[in-house]
């Protein structure tokens, strides 16, 4: 335990005590000698204005009573808590570079100074934590900050939104409910006053955003969970079907350790294959995830999903067959 941790530990010890804390207990908690414990106490009195008093009869130390409970001044964390904060910031930067960097920079610099002074390897988090983003879409940091402000202040939000399936930009009046980071991309779950229903909005498709002063419409968490988490993937809505997938024995161990949905059911078959059942509503995202396993998975039910996957595979095979036939029909001189 270093000096920084001992100061923090002594504060916690004295704050929690209802009676003077014996010197021997302080030494045990701080893992130090009598001389070191005395220096820590004096440092807190001199540099941190700690109202530490000594009770000679009980041979113990305590905080002198006052109207306001004494707290350590400024930003004060244990070394491992500071490192955890730096790591969390690095994770956020990896998820979306530039996001909230301006807001977190002062905190980051202050933490670095404390860690550097304590020789705690503050620079390690920068290159020891790595985030690999796949299929990431860049959200505008200004719009993200506006959305987050409306969400946390519980205010309504007006946005200009251009959905991928829409030819034009529409103005939406929203009551934001949750920010969701899903598959390396950010989404806003919100009550849409235009559609009078819950909707999910991709932040990278927001073209303008403004916080309103009107209170946001509150939707109970249970209702949000049913709507947004009841079915498979990011496409919201109640689950209407149950997909039954069978994976080859070669893929069974991998799939058995994955969570596709909180309500999924899985079992190993006698021949080593793995059967996975999960609820879904909109099949689009589920089909994409099934296709990535190629010949290692078979859709057993329902029939509509099986037919849809078979059709995707048929079209893909036709495309590759056409390309192969075209290449074979060309002479070397063409």
Tell me the C-alpha distance between 148 and 39, whole Å. 46
**Cis peptide preceding 181, ω within 30 of 0:** no
pLDDT of residue 76: 54
pLDDT of residue 19: 92
Token readout for 317 is 């095979």
pLDDT of residue 293: 94
pLDDT of residue 84: 65
pLDDT of residue 185: 82
CA of 57: how far to CAs of 19, 207, 259, in Å?
12, 70, 61
Where does the chain hold its CATH 3.30.70 domain(s)? 241-320
pLDDT of residue 78: 60
65 CB-side CA count, 13 A: 3
Token readout for 59 is 């041979």
Contacts made by residues 102-107, CB under 8 angstroms, sequence distance 24+: 103/145, 107/75
CATH 3.40.630.190 for the 3-63 domain, yes or no: no
Mean pLDDT by groups of 10 residues along the chain of 334 residues = 80 90 92 92 87 91 85 62 62 60 62 57 56 68 86 95 87 94 87 94 93 95 86 77 96 92 94 96 92 95 97 92 64 50
Where does the chain hold its CATH 2.30.30 domain(s)? 141-229
pLDDT of residue 283: 92
CA atoms 250, 256, 257, 262: torsion sign: positive
> CA Rg, the chain, in Å?
29
Write the CATH number of the domain with boundaries 141-229: 2.30.30
Count of residues in the chain: 334
Token readout for 165 is 């399936």
CATH 3.30.70 for the 241-320 domain, yes or no: yes
């Amino acid at each position: 335990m270093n000096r920084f941790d001992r100061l923090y530990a002594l504060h916690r010890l004295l704050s929690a005590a209802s009676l003077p804390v014996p010197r021997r207990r302080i030494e045990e908690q701080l893992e130090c000698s009598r001389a070191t414990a005395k220096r820590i106490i004096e440092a807190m009195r001199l540099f941190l204005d700690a109202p530490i008093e000594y009770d000679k009869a009980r041979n113990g130390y305590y905080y002198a009573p006052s109207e306001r409970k004494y707290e350590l001044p400024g930003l004060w964390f244990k070394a491992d808590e500071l490192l955890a904060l730096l790591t969390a910031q690095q994770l956020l930067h990896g998820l979306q570079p530039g996001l909230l960097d301006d807001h977190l920079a002062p905190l980051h610099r202050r933490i670095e100074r404390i860690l550097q002074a304590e020789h705690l390897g503050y620079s390690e988090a920068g290159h020891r934590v790595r985030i690999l983003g796949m299929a990431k879409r860049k959200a505008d940091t200004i719009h993200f900050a506006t959305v987050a402000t409306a969400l946390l202040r519980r205010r309504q939000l007006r946005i200009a939104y251009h959905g991928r399936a829409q030819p034009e930009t529409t103005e939406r009046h929203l009551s934001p409910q949750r920010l969701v980071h899903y598959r390396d991309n950010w989404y806003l779950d919100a009550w849409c006053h235009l559609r009078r229903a819950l909707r999910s909005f991709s932040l990278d498709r927001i073209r303008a955003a403004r916080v309103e002063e009107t209170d946001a419409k509150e939707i109970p968490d249970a209702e949000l969970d049913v709507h947004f988490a009841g079915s498979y993937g990011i496409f919201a809505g109640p689950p209407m079907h149950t997909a039954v997938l069978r994976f080859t024995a070669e893929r069974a161990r991998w799939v058995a350790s994955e969570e596709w949905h909180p309500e999924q059911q899985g079992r190993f078959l006698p021949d080593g294959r793995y059967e996975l059942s999960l609820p879904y509503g909109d099949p689009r995202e589920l089909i994409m995830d099934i296709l990535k396993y190629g010949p290692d998975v078979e859709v057993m039910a329902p029939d509509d999903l099986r037919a849809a996957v078979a059709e995707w595979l048929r079209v893909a095979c036709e495309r590759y067959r056409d390309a192969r036939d075209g290449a074979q029909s060309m002479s070397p001189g063409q």
